[in-house]
A and B are shown apart, each in its own frame.
Chain A
Amino acid sequence: MNAHASNGHFIDLQKVSKRFGDNGNGTTAISNVSLSCSAGELVLLLGPSGSGKTTLLTLMAGLIEPSEGQVLLFGEEVRSYSDGELQRIRAHRLGFIFQNFLLIESLSVLENIVLVLRFAGITGSHAIEEARRLLRQFSIEHLSDKSPLKLSQGEKQRVAIARAIANGGELIIADEPTASLESSQGLQVIELLRNLAHAGNRCVVVASHDRRLVEFADCVVRLRDGAIEALEVHR
């Protein structure tokens, strides 16, 4: 499970479709999508609301199974993983940034990071030290003991990014990471994500409707009605 895919792709989608509901009354959310993402890449899934970005994102993360086609996650077919294996992949190899950040509000900033480290098997003083190091890296160590409720939107997003990379995962999944941010903050965040991809040799997949992010992406997947309208490779 720790080895990269033999072809070097973290994610490999082959003619993937996803339908919700039964065949008669069902809705096709994703239609015949083929796509691959590798280390060092920032992949942008761009499209308007309802274009299938989030569904594609959850398919890529192995959170749902395709109705047709194959999703290879770290070289293995998602369907071949057991629930326990998928949980361990999420705990050790994936990082998530949610729309509206979704920090656990009953925990402090530090505890939000420590929680993810705990899921990855790092506990006690090691987890606290590592969490503090991450907060320092994002220049938000002074927020350690604060409740997420007391943070600005920009601060929340930094904490969310720190949480996403806390487990050292190679694949970061970000759902509308700039949606709740002011324009300048949004650009700072996408720069940060690009840096994670390039300097950290991670694969970062971002779903967004924000066209300004295009210039930061290595690969832009334009979606419309669940299908790829255009695929642009910038690097």
Chain B
Amino acid sequence: MTNYSFRILKAQPARTAFTIGGVALCAVLMLFLLSVYRGVADGSVEYIRHNRTDLWVLQENTTNILRGSSILSTGHGNLLREISGIRSVSPLVFFLSSIRKGERGSTVYLTGYDPATGIGAPPLITQGRNIQNDGEIILDRSFAAKSGFHTGDIVTLKGDSLRVVGISVQTNMFVVQYAFVTLRQAQSLIGYPGLVSCYLVQVQEPGTVASMKERIREEIPGLEVYDHDEFLKNNIREMQSGFLPLLYVIAAIGGIVLTTILTLILSISILERRRDFAVMKTLGSTHRFLGGLVYGQGLQISLTGCGAALAFFFPMIRLIEAISPEVSTKTSLEQIAGVFLTVSVMSGVSSLLAARKLARIYTLEAFS
């Protein structure tokens, strides 16, 4: 049956190639969206995942750091340190700021941390080193590539000159990227030396995290306290709520386009060969065999389309990342398998829709 399906496709090489191209483009679109999603998902929360701590303490009603603003003071830190059973309290400052180099300016998610403890540092430095002193800054790799910054460059941030000492990865939130300075530098730049966004708290006894959470809430009013996993989930949820709806819409459009193209092409193929189908019906073919011919065509187009998509996808990703470094992608075997499975299912749906036309082909047509 596969052979017959293949022969039917081979008889129309231009149309078959066009259809395979359409399927490949849809598969590439799906793969690209998934890869961008994974890239954004990792880039958005990897910083939090990497800075594993017992408790995250923020201003009341703040659930995340991606799209929430938390304003605390150094006084809160002092109160936290007074609670018995707490081993360390590390302040962090986050705020959006514009980095300038000459005439150019770009926005970063500026993060201030204490280099002495290293808590709140970027997950991974790929070039240069971590910050050690005020007057130094680490930039995200995508941001640096997009804006033309390199280690050793001097950039201006709110009038202060900072030297780029390192390039980090896993710090790309797609719409904005992390940049890292010392806590003191960040507080100075923002103009409020006593300002802190959140505290990372470590307890002395690992078994006391839950009770310490309640204790902090009771003893220091106006704070929100999360254990690490809870806070990570909050941030993932926040990232997904902003990104996933768009992803779903585009993926759905891709799926609809794919199904429409395939259904249309298979239906045209049936209509053009309706005499052949009428002859086969007259000669004793079962409905299952004829349906199988249509399904076989759909499957062969889909599989070839997926193969073409795979061959095209990775060079395309490299090109896109070279042109737009802020597009950070991550591709896994599971994603590829998922897309291939989706395309196969869509091909099955298309075949079913197209095969309905077979019921309206009659044996008498072989005699007309």
Residues of chain A having any CB pair with chain B under 8 Å: 54, 57-58, 63-64, 87-92, 94, 96, 98-99, 102, 104-107, 111, 115-116, 118-120, 163, 167, 175
Chain B nearest Cβ from A55, distance in angstroms: 9
Chain B nearest Cβ from A131, distance in angstroms: 14
Task: Considering the complex, give the chain B residue whose CB is closest to the CB of A62.
Answer: B363
Known: A106-B11, A175-B367. A90 touches B4 (CB 8 A): no
Task: Considering the complex, give the chain B residue whose CB is closest to the CB of A89.
Answer: B284
Residue B156 is within 8 A (CB to CB) of chain A in the complex = no
Q: Which of A58, A88, A94, A102 contacts B364 (CB 8 A)?
A: A58
Known: A54-B367, A119-B289. A63 touches B282 (CB 8 A): yes
Q: Are B7 and A107 in contact (CB under 8 A)?
A: yes
Residue B280 is within 8 A (CB to CB) of chain A in the complex = yes
Which residues of chain A come closer than 8 Å to B204, judged between CB atoms? none
Residue B127 is within 8 A (CB to CB) of chain A in the complex = no
Q: What is the size, in residues, of chain B's interface with A at 8 Å between Cβ atoms?
A: 21
Which residues of chain A come closer than 8 Å to B366, judged between CB atoms? 96, 98, 102
Task: Considering the complex, give the chain B residue whose CB is closest to the CB of A102.
Answer: B279
**Cβ contacts B1-26/A at 8 Å (1 or 0 each):** 00110011011000000000000000
Of the candidates B275, B279, B284, the one having the most CB atoms from chain A within 10 angstroms of its own CB is B284
Which residues of chain A come closer than 8 Å to B3, judged between CB atoms? 111
Q: Are A63 and B364 in contact (CB under 8 A)?
A: yes
Which residues of chain A come closer than 8 Å to B133, judged between CB atoms? none
The SS class assigned to the B binding surface is helix
Task: Considering the complex, give the chain B residue whose CB is closest to the CB of A96.
Answer: B282
A94 to B283, CA, bound (A): 8
A64 to B368, CA, bound (A): 14
Q: Are A99 and B284 in contact (CB under 8 A)?
A: no
Task: Considering the complex, give the chain A residue whose CB is closest to the CB of B276.
Answer: A104
B 262-320 contacts with A by CB, 8 A: 273, 275-276, 279-280, 282-286, 289
Can you give 17 A-B contacts (C-beta < 8 A)?
A54-B367, A58-B364, A58-B367, A63-B364, A87-B285, A90-B282, A90-B283, A90-B284, A96-B282, A102-B276, A106-B4, A106-B11, A106-B273, A107-B4, A111-B7, A119-B283, A119-B289
Task: Considering the complex, give the chain B residue whose CB is closest to the CB of A118.
Answer: B289
Q: Are B4 and A115 in contact (CB under 8 A)?
A: yes
Task: Considering the complex, give the chain B residue whose CB is closest to the CB of A120.
Answer: B284
Chain B nearest Cβ from A74, distance in angstroms: 14
A105 to B4, CA, bound (A): 11
Chain A nearest Cβ from B329, distance in angstroms: 41
Which residues of chain A come closer than 8 Å to B4, judged between CB atoms? 106-107, 111, 115
A64 to B363, CA, bound (A): 9
A57 to B363, CA, bound (A): 12
Of the candidates B280, B285, B289, the one having the most CB atoms from chain A within 10 angstroms of its own CB is B285
Q: Are B279 and A105 in contact (CB under 8 A)?
A: no
Q: Are B284 and A57 in contact (CB under 8 A)?
A: no
Chain B nearest Cβ from A53, distance in angstroms: 10
Chain A nearest Cβ from B233, distance in angstroms: 56
Task: Considering the complex, give the chain A residue whose CB is closest to the CB of B286.
Answer: A87
Chain A nearest Cβ from B316, distance in angstroms: 34
**Cβ contacts B326-354/A at 8 Å (1 or 0 each):** 00000000000000000000000000000
